[in-house]
Chain A
Amino acid sequence: MYPPEFGYFKPQSLEEALDFLEKEDARPLAGGQSLIPMLKLRIISTGYLVDLNPLSSLSFVKDEGSQVRVGALTRHAEITSNTMIKTEVPLLYEASRQVGDVQVRNVGTIGGSVSNADPAADYPSVLTALDAKIVTTSKGGSREINALNFFKGPFTTSLNEGELVKEIVFPKLNGYKTSYVKVVRRAGDYAMVSIAVALRLKEGKVEDVRLSYSGVSDTPYRAKEAEKVLMERELNEENIKKAAEVAASGANPPSDVRGSSWYRKEVMKVITVKTLGDMK
C-alpha cells in the first residue's frame, strides 16, 4: 500500500526545518507511527515531509531538580528505559511502556504522540494529570502551553501552521502516589479507557488529587469535579465511589469499535474505583 506522492526534506538544523515548514505545504515526520499509516490510508496528504529524525537536539531527557524536560524526538522506548524518569515521573514511565508494542515504541516519539492528539492515546491524560507544559518553537518564536490548553479536539491541538513541539516539561510531584491504568480490547491497542492518577494523602485525608482519562472524550478529560469530591476528605470506599460517579457523569465518551459510550462510562467507574482503592 503506497502513500500518495510527496517530496522529502532532510534538514540539517532546527532553523532549516522551521524555515521549510513555514514556506511549503509540509508536515513534520517524527516516528511516523501515526503519520505513515494515515498517509497510506490516504486520510491525509502533504506536499513534503520534513524529516525531524536527523535533529538530535530534539532528543533528550534532562533532570532539572524540580522538573524533567523531555525532547519531542525522544522515543517511547527511551522513556521506558530511562531510570531517572522511572523514579521522578513514574506516571510517564507507566504510560510509555503501555504504548502499542515493542516495534512501535522503538520508533514512535513523545512529541509525535502529543502533536497527533489522538483522544485514545496514552500521554495526553498523563500530561494533563501532571499539569505538564508543552514548549513549542516556530519562526515566530517559542511558546509554553499548559497541557490543559493544548488539546483542542480529536487530532486537533493549539499548534499553529509551521510550529513544532520542541519539548515537554514535567513537574516532579514529591510525596505523591501515581498510577496509570489502561483498559484495552486487545494487546497493543489504544485505550478503550485509561486513567492517570496523582494523589497526595496527609493523615488519611486527600491533600491533592488529579484524575485524568483517555478514551472518554474528544480530548484528555481532567475530571476536576470528581477531584473536588475527594479533596480534604478521607479516601474511603464511599467517597471513591462518589468521585467515580461524578467523573463518569461529566464524560462524553464516543461510541466506536472499542466500545459504546455507555460501556466506556461503566469501565471508567470500575477503573476509578479500583485504581483509587489500590492507592489507599
Chain B
Amino acid sequence: MVKPGEKVKIKVKVNGVQYEGEVPPRKLLVHFLRDDLGLTGTKVGCDTTTCGACTVILNGKSVKSCTLLAVQADGGEILTIEGLGNGKLHRIQEAFSNNFALQCGFCTPGMIMQTYYLLKEKGSEISEEEIRDGLHGNICRCTGYQNIIKAVEEASKVRS
C-alpha cells in the first residue's frame, strides 16, 4: 500500500532497457516517460484521452499514456517511438516520410505507434476501412489524413 503523498518504486522495460524509478501514484505514464526517462518523442496533445499523440505500446497493446498511471506499468514492457527503428528509420517511419504524411509532426509519434499496433494485429491484408477505423483515436490537425492513410497502406505492403 502506498499512502497519499508517498512514492512507489516501479520497474519497467522501455525499448528493451530496464529502468527503475520512484513515482507518486498520481504520476501519469506519459510524464514518467518524458520527464523521468527523458523520452520526449511521446507527445501530450489533448491530455484528455482524445487525440492519441501519447500512444505507446504497453505489453503488446496500444494505449494512451496520458490516461494510465505509471504504477500501472510496473513490471511491464513499453515500446515508444524512440525504440521503433533501432537507430534507423522503421518501415512505417519511411512510409510516413515518403508519403508526406506529416506536417507539424506533433501527432506523428502517436500515429506511427498506433500504425505499428494495427499492422502487428492485421498484417498486410489491412483494408482502407480498417486503417481509418483503427486510427480514429488519433487526431491530426494538419494533413487531412489522406497521406497518412497512403503511408499506412504503403507500410503494410513493405516486408520488415
Residues of A within 8 A of B (CB): 1-10, 20, 29, 32-33, 36-37, 39-41, 47-49, 51, 53, 77, 100-104, 106-107, 187-188
Contact = CB atoms under 8 A, between A and B. Distances in A.
Given A32-B67, A33-B49, A103 B26 contact: no
10 contacts: A2-B27, A5-B5, A6-B26, A20-B1, A32-B72, A36-B49, A37-B49, A102-B117, A102-B134, A103-B62
B68 interface: yes
A101 B52 CA distance: 10
Interface residues of B, number: 37
Nearest to A8: B25
Given A103-B137, A107-B68, A187-B136, A7 B62 contact: no
A37 B67 contact: yes
What 10 A-B pairs are tightest by C-beta distance, nearest first?
A101-B137, A8-B25, A187-B136, A106-B61, A7-B4, A8-B2, A1-B47, A103-B64, A36-B67, A9-B1
B25 A7 contact: yes
B86 interface: no
Interface string B2-45: 11111010000000000000001111100100000000000000
A107 B48 CA distance: 15
Most buried by B among A7, A32, A49: A7
A102 B62 contact: yes
B62 A106 contact: yes
B71 interface: yes
A3 B49 CA distance: 14
A104 B137 CA distance: 8
A27 to B, nearest CB: 12
B55 A103 contact: yes
B79 interface: no
Given A33-B49, A33-B67, A102-B118, A188 B4 contact: no
A7 B55 contact: no
